[in-house]
A and B are shown apart, each in its own frame.
Chain A
Amino acid sequence: MSVDHGDITDRLVETSEWTDQDLLAHGIPINDVPFVSIGGGVGSFAMVDLLRIAGVGVSRIRVISDLDTPSQTYEYLASNSQIRPDHRLRSDSGSVIDCPWGWPGYALRESWASKRPGAAAQVLTEPLLADWYTPTAGQVYASLHRESQRISWPSVLWPGVARHVRKRIGGGYFVLFTPPDGAAETKRIAVRCRFVHLAVGYPGVRFLDDLQRYRATHGDFQRVVNAYEPHDHVYAEMRQRPCTVLVRGAGIVASRVLQRLIDDREQHGAQTTIVHLFRNYPTGPQGDKATFRRPATKGWVYQGFNFPKAAWGGQLRDRLEGLEGRERAALLDQLGGTNTAPRRYWRDQLERGGARGFYRQARGVVQHVAPVEVGRQIRTTLTNPDGSTGQLDADFIIDATGLEANIEEHRVLNDLLTHAGAGRNPKGRLDVERDFRVRGCDNGDGAMFASGSATLGGYYAGVDSFLGLQYASLRIHDALAAAGFGTRIGVRRSVSQWVKWARNVAP
C-alpha cells in the first residue's frame, strides 16, 4: 500500500493506540512538548495564562489552533449576536479573564480609566439597588490582548487544525494536526506529549429543527437566520422598509436581539413589528420553596448570569460536586435552562413595545415553517397552548435559541469517544472528573483534561464562562502540579506574580 509522505491512512485512523513507529512509518514528524492545549480560544488562553503564572516556560507548552488571537471566535459570535465592542457582556465584574486573581475587577478598572465613579458605584450596589454590573466587550478584548502579549501567547501557538488525539503505547499521547497549506513539509505533524488539554468550544451553531428543515428545503439563508451567524442584512433591510420579524428564544441572545430591533425602531426610524414566540411561557416565579425560587414573569426567567452566582464558587458549587448522574443533570437544569438578565433598559423597552403595539408575544409549539403562497413572507404554523392551530407570518425569522451542538459533531471529540476511551456525562457531553480530567483517558503517567462547553453536565455548572474557564484552569493546574508539572501556586508565588501582572511584565 502506498502512503502519501507525512499523511495518515485509514489503517492508522482505525488503530486506536499508536506507537512512535506507526507515525514514523507514515513519514509524520514527531515533536516533543509536555503540554498541548487544543482549541486556542479563551479556554486555552485561561489554561496557558495560569501555567505561565505557575512558572511553566513557553518551550513546555504548545497551543494548536487555527485562530490568530484567543478572543477571535468569541468576538465573532458576540458580534453576530449584536454585542459590539462598546456593548456590555453578561459577565461579572470579578470574572476577569486576563487576571486569575479577579482583582481589580472590570468595574474598578472602568472607573479608574474613565475617572468616573459610576461603574464602581454600580458594582457596590448590585444587584440590590442597581442592575448587575457587566463589562463592555471592548474592555474585555483589550485586556485579554494585553495579557496574551505578556505571557508570550504567540510563542506557544502552533497554527493548525487538530485532527486526532490518541493514546501512545508506552504512555502519554499523540496529538496529530494539520498545519496550514505550505507551512510544513508534511501534510500532518504529530506532537508527543504527556498532557493534553481540550478547549475546543462549540462544535457549531444549533438550529431549531423546523428552521433547519426550512432552510434545507427552500435554500433560504437570508430570511431565516441564526442570531450567532452574521445577519446584519436583516437589520439593514428592516431600516429600509416596514417589516415583521419573528424572534424565537427567551435567553440572553433573544434579549440582545430584541434590544437591537427596538433601538433601530426608536433611534433610527425603523417601522419593525416584532412577534416574539415562546415555547415555554412562565408567568410566575419558578421553584417550589422560598429558598429555591427564581423570578420569572411574562415568559422570561431572570437571573444575573447563566447560572446562579454561587454555582461558580459557593454553596451551589459544593452541592453540585456532591451529586452524580441524573440528580446532577436535574439540578443543572433547574439552575440553568433558558434565562436572561434582569436589565431595566430591556424591561422598559418591552413595556413600551407592548403598549405601542410593535412588540407582541406569542406562545406555541411550531409544527412547520414554509413560504407563504403569495408574497415574500414566511409562515410559521404552530400549535397554540389551547391545542388549536395558529399561523404567524413574518418577513424574517431570527433563531435566538442557542449555540449548543452535540459533541460528536466535533471531529476531535468524536475521535476521543470512539478511540480513546472517553465517555459521556449525564447531559451527553464529555465526562470529566472534578478536576476536569477526562475520564477513561489516563495513559501511563499522562492525563487528558478538558474545559469549556464540552464539559457541561459535569460537577461544575458555569464551565462556559470566563470564571468557569479560570476555575477549570486552576483545578487542572493543581492536578498537573501534583503530577510534577509546574509548581503549585501558593501564597508567595501568587502575590509575586500578581505584582508582575499589575506591572505588565512577563511572568
Chain B
Amino acid sequence: MTPTLAGRIQTRLALLGTVGVVWTAIIGLVLGRPYRALFTALLIVAVVGIAWEVLYHAVQQFRWEKDWPTLLGLVVAVPEGIATWLLLKAGIPWDVGEVPAGTFLTMFVTVWLLVWAIANGPLQIVALRWRYRGGRFLGGW
C-alpha cells in the first residue's frame, strides 16, 4: 500500500467502524458477550491508532518508495496489541472490569487480520479510487 497520512487515518476509522464493529459483535457471542470490554478495546485501537498512524507515516518517510509493505501492516499489530491491552488493564478510557487475556487476544487478532486482509485488496471492489488516493475516501482526487 502507499498510504498518505489522511488516507491511513480514514482507512483505519472506516474499516474499524464497519468491519471492526460487525466482527466484534459476532466474535463477542463466542467469547461470552463481554461487549463493554471488547468495544472499548476497539475504540482504543481506533482512537490511539491515530497517533500510531502519525508514527507510521513518519517511519514511511524513510522509505524511498514511500510505501507501506503488506508485512508491516501485520507486524505493527504486536506493539498496538500490547498498548491496547495495557490501556484496557489501566482502565483507560474507563474501567471495563476483568478481561481474560485470551478473550482480548482472540478479538484483537481476528479483527486485525480481517481489517488487514480487506485493506489489502477486497476494499478496492467497493472503493475503486481508494488505492490511487493514498487510502482516502473523502476529499476528491
Contact = CB atoms under 8 A, between A and B. Distances in A.
Nearest to B72: A128
B64 A294 contact: yes
Given A314-B2, A315-B4, A315-B134, A123 B128 contact: no
Contact of B126 (A108, A127, A128, A491): A491
Interface in B82-141: 121-122, 124-129, 131-134, 141
Contacts of B128: 100-101, 474, 489, 494
Given A309-B66, A312-B132, A313-B132, A103 B2 contact: no
A491 B132 contact: no
A102 B66 contact: no
Contacts of A309: 2, 65-67
A312 B131 CA distance: 9
A434 interface: yes
Contacts of B132: 312-313, 317, 471, 474
A290 B64 contact: no
Contacts of A434: 141
Contact of B64 (A100, A105, A129, A295): A295
A304 B131 contact: no
B24 to A, nearest CB: 23
B62 A495 contact: no
B127 A125 contact: no
Given A94-B131, A128-B72, A310 B67 contact: yes
Contact of B125 (A294, A304, A494): A494
Contacts of A295: 64
A318 B7 CA distance: 12
B71 interface: yes
A398 to B, nearest CB: 29
User: Which of A105, A124, A314: most chain B Cβ within 10 A?
Assistant: A314
Contacts of A294: 64
Contacts of B5: 315
Contact of A123 (B7, B64, B70, B127): B70
Interface string B16-43: 0000000000000000000000000000
A291 interface: yes
Contacts of B126: 491, 494-495
Given A104-B121, A491-B126, A491-B127, A310 B66 contact: yes
Contacts of A105: 121
B65 A310 contact: yes
Contact of A318 (B65, B121, B131, B134): B134
Contacts of B125: 101, 103, 494-495, 498
A32 interface: no
A458 to B, nearest CB: 14
A343 interface: no
Given A434-B141, A475-B141, A313 B134 contact: yes
Contacts of A125: 70-71
A102 B2 contact: no
A124 B71 contact: yes
User: Which of A287, A309, A491, A498: most chain B Cβ within 10 A?
Assistant: A309
B6 to A, nearest CB: 9
A491 B14 CA distance: 15
Contacts of B3: 314
Interface in B61-80: 61-62, 64-67, 69-72
A295 B62 CA distance: 12
B70 A312 contact: no
A124 B134 CA distance: 19
A347 interface: no
A294 B132 CA distance: 23
A303 interface: yes
B67 A103 contact: no
B67 A318 contact: no
A266 interface: no
A491 B126 CA distance: 5
A310 B134 CA distance: 8
A313 B64 contact: no
Contact of A316 (B66, B121, B129): B66
User: Which of A104, A124, A287: most chain B Cβ within 10 A?
Assistant: A124
A123 B141 CA distance: 27
A126 B70 contact: yes
Contacts of A100: 128
A127 B62 contact: no
User: Which of B7, B61, B64, B122: most chain A Cβ within 10 A?
Assistant: B64
A491 B125 CA distance: 8
Nearest to A125: B71
Given A291-B62, A494-B128, A315 B2 contact: yes
User: Which of B65, B121, B141: most chain A Cβ within 10 A?
Assistant: B65
A471 B64 CA distance: 22
Contacts of A498: 125
Contacts of A290: 62
Contact of A303 (B65, B127, B133): B65
Contacts of B131: 94, 102, 313
Given A128-B71, A128-B72, A314 B62 contact: no
A474 B124 contact: no
Interface of B: 1-5, 7, 61-62, 64-67, 69-72, 121-122, 124-129, 131-134, 141
15 contacts: A94-B131, A100-B128, A103-B125, A126-B71, A292-B64, A308-B65, A308-B66, A309-B67, A310-B2, A312-B132, A315-B4, A474-B128, A475-B141, A494-B127, A495-B126
Given A102-B121, A124-B71, A318-B4, 19 more contacts: A94-B121, A101-B124, A101-B128, A103-B122, A103-B125, A105-B121, A108-B121, A128-B72, A287-B64, A292-B64, A293-B64, A303-B65, A309-B2, A310-B65, A315-B2, A317-B2, A317-B134, A435-B141, A474-B129
